[in-house]
Amino acid sequence: MKKSNIKNNLLLIGKVLLSAGLITWLLNGADFDAIWMTVKTANTAYLIAAFCMFYIGYLVIALRWQSLLRAQNIHASLSYLLESFTIAMLFNNLLPSTIGGDAYRMYDIWKIGGNKSQSFSIILIDRCFGMFALVCYGFVAAILAEEVREAIPGLVIYLGGILVAMLVFMWMVFGSGAGILDWFLNLNVRLLSLPQRIITKLTSGLTLFRGRGGVLVRALLLSFVLQLNVIIHFIIITYALNIDVPWAGMFIIIPLATLVMLLPVSINGVGVREAIFIFFFALYGVMAESAIAFAWVALAMLLAQGVIGGIVFILRRRKPGNNSHNSLGDTAPTDHSAGKNNAGRVDPEKTK
């Protein structure tokens, strides 16, 4: 067995053990009847409304993604991007990480003519915009939410630092800061050759975003709409479960919970998710059982999205013209019979 396979297996085992350990510890002494009663008495109308918020988010993500693709002269219809993201939710749930869906989205970009560098850079920028908006909401809420500030000293400074780092990143990608990066990469210093090669490889696909201020503004606006939708989704779940947490509290809890759950330390956030909500909800006098019920309802909705993504994946493969080479693991982009755009890339809008 290769060393890389051994390492991956050990990491997977570690994640499983951590998730299992956290769940065992958190549920030790928990009142399962109280958890079940919280879920059983949930307001069905609110739960349906919360679930529907996913699809508003999908549309916003597709619009933002489409804008970033066009900036690199890659054209795709909203329906194609919506399908892709819906299927990505399947891989987010199926694989033991939260980035499996990103890999599938990169693959879909490659299928319509984007190279590996473009595929990576577009998804990276897409992710960064989403995180920037989420951290912005958390930063403002942290200033307003005294309970959370007292529980996590230095939180405002920490979130502010993340925002500054993200602003610098966007300045270097879209603005005049790119000149500083070019200056560093062109330095003829032997000791810098390795980091220069690494940075060049990571940023090679970002150069086409330079000077695209309109793309930056549009993507940022859509990102703020998207993350507002995410936070409202969770607020609706608190209403459904009759959990009393103020809106200001949710605007800091959800960004922080999302940031923590992105860390690849457990199986899709299992165990970590419950611990986060127990900790934060306790600041507002919410019992651990209610926080666990909240976490499990949120997880159940994500799993349901994965099931829907699986159905879309099957239907997509069965569409006329989608042969076996059109599934994950292709060795060459699909050559549709429709016309191509000016850059020679396949235009899915003409294939629909």
Instruction: Report helix, strand or coil for 22.
Output: helix
The secondary element (H helix, E strand) that includes residue 301 is helix 288-317
CA dist 122 and 333 (Å) reads: 18
Residue boundaries of the structural domains of the chain? 54-327
Rg, C-alpha atoms of the chain: 22
- Tens digits of per-residue pLDDT, 218-244? 999 999 999 999 999 999 999 999 999
Q: Residue 338 has which token pair?
A: 């429709």
Q: Please give the Cα distance from 136 to 162 (Å, whole number).
A: 9
Across the range 67-84, mean pLDDT stands at 90
Least confident of 5-14, 33-42, 140-149, 321-330: 321-330
Question: Which of the residue ranges 88-97, 183-192, 316-325 would you say has the lowest mean pLDDT?
Answer: 316-325
Per the prediction, the chain carries an average pLDDT of 80
**pLDDT bracket for residue 73 (50, 70, 90):** confident
pLDDT bracket for residue 176 (50, 70, 90): confident
CA distance linking residue 46 with residue 242, whole number of Å: 10
- Quote the Cα angle for 120-124-129, to 5°: 155
What span, in angstroms and rounded, lies between the C-alpha atoms of 252 and 231?
Answer: 9
SS3 100: helix
Contact assessment for residue 298 and residue 234, using Cβ atoms and an 8 Å cutoff: yes
Report the C-alpha gap between 244 and 264 in whole angstroms: 30
Helix axis angle for 213-240 and 247-261, nearest 10°, is 110
CA–CA dist 257, 273 (Å, integer): 7
What pLDDT score does 261 carry?
77
Residue 265 to residue 21: CA distance in whole angstroms? 12
Question: Strands, DSSP E only, in the chain?
Answer: none
- Nearest Cα residue to 308 out of 85, 46, 24: 85
Instruction: Write out pLDDT tens, residues 276-328.
Output: 899 989 988 999 999 999 999 998 998 899 899 999 999 887 776 554 333 34
255-273 confidence digits (pLDDT tens)? 888 877 777 666 666 778 8
C-alpha span between 191 and 244 (Å, rounded) = 56
| Percent above pLDDT 70 for the chain | 82
Choose among 232, 207, 226, 52: nearest CA to 131: 226
| DSSP 8-class letter at 340 | B
For residue 49, count other CB atoms closer than 10 A to its CB.
16
C-beta atoms surrounding 196 within 10 Å: 16
Q: Which amino acid is at 46?
A: Y
* pLDDT score at 170: 83
